[in-house]
Amino acid sequence: MTDKTMTADEAVARLTSGMTLGIGGWGSRRKPMALVGALLRTAVTDLTVVSCGGPDVGMLAAAGRVRRLVAPFVTLDSVPLEPHYRAAREQGALELTEIDEAMFLWGLRAAAHRMPFLPVRAGLGSDVMRINPGLRTVTSPYEDGETFVAVPALRLDAALVHVNRADRRGNGQYLGPDPYFDDLFCEAADTAYVSCERIVDTAELTKEAAPQTLLIKRHTVTGVVEAPNGAHFTSCTPDYGRDEAAQREYVSTPWPVYAERHLGRGEGSRT
């Protein structure tokens, strides 16, 4: 058996500046916050971040680590627009590629299947095409001759995701109501690091829930990090919900103060 367990610090030590980094979860739900916190304690910067953004994007943007963001949204769910991301964007601190959620999904699927692009209907007739002039269309070679958007693959150098349970080999399980795109992030990446609430024996993964919840397959995973409460303050249902009080503190606190308070020694400060 291949034991892929490591610490959060060991996982992020494998990341380098300039990477394209995918971050799983959705808004303020099941974000790999322990891994993001560990990343903020490194000097890694100049990242292209691919994410259904939440506080992961807000923190990395506030710390000046993001060169470009690819996202359909950046939200805290109960707070519609992530404030630290908004401040960074208003200051022109990062580039933004904003695409439709369906386009985001199929970009990850294209990367997972090692395709250069996949055709989708989403985006046609919308401002997505106007604000992304690099997007191209393709015409069906069949009789219908329908036109589609050719969504480019969202190929990742590395991915960070958080799930409820995992084994030491890298199989990951979600127990909540939504898998999000965590499996696709791992499949679209050259390396993937999965944090979890608890590491269990492989046989235990089918005892808490149906086999269909075995979202992440071990062959797509480079490292496994046991991180209890590792999505806090975002939710990781059914283990815990979003900590609204902690999220309000994050929203209302200037980034340097928040970083000093929660990351220590000012590592999260803008570089």
Residue 100 tokens read as 């439709």
What is the fold, at CATH topology level, of the domain defined by 8-117+156-228? Answer: Glutaconate Coenzyme A-transferase (3.40.1080)
Buried b (16+ CB within 10 A) or exposed e, 226-237: bbeebbbbbbbb
Mean pLDDT on 241-245: 98
Q: Is the pLDDT of residue 36 over 70?
A: yes
For position 264, what pLDDT does the model report?
74
Among the ranges given (51-55, 104-108, 126-130, 164-168), the one the predictor scored with the smallest mean pLDDT: 126-130
Whether this prediction's pTM lies above 0.75 is answered by yes
In this prediction, what percent of the chain has a pLDDT beyond 70? 97
CA dist 145 and 115 (Å) reads 21
Mean pLDDT of the chain: 95
What are the tens digits of pLDDT across the range 180-216?
A: 999 999 999 999 999 999 999 999 998 767 778 999 9
> How many residues belong to the chain?
271
Q: Is 111 exposed, middle or buried (0-12, 13-18, 19+ CB in 10 A)?
A: buried
Residue range 63-112, pLDDT digits in tens: 999 999 999 999 999 999 999 999 999 999 999 999 999 999 999 999 99
Domain extent listing, the chain? 8-117+156-228
Among residues 167, 121, 113, which one has the least CA distance to residue 5?
A: 167
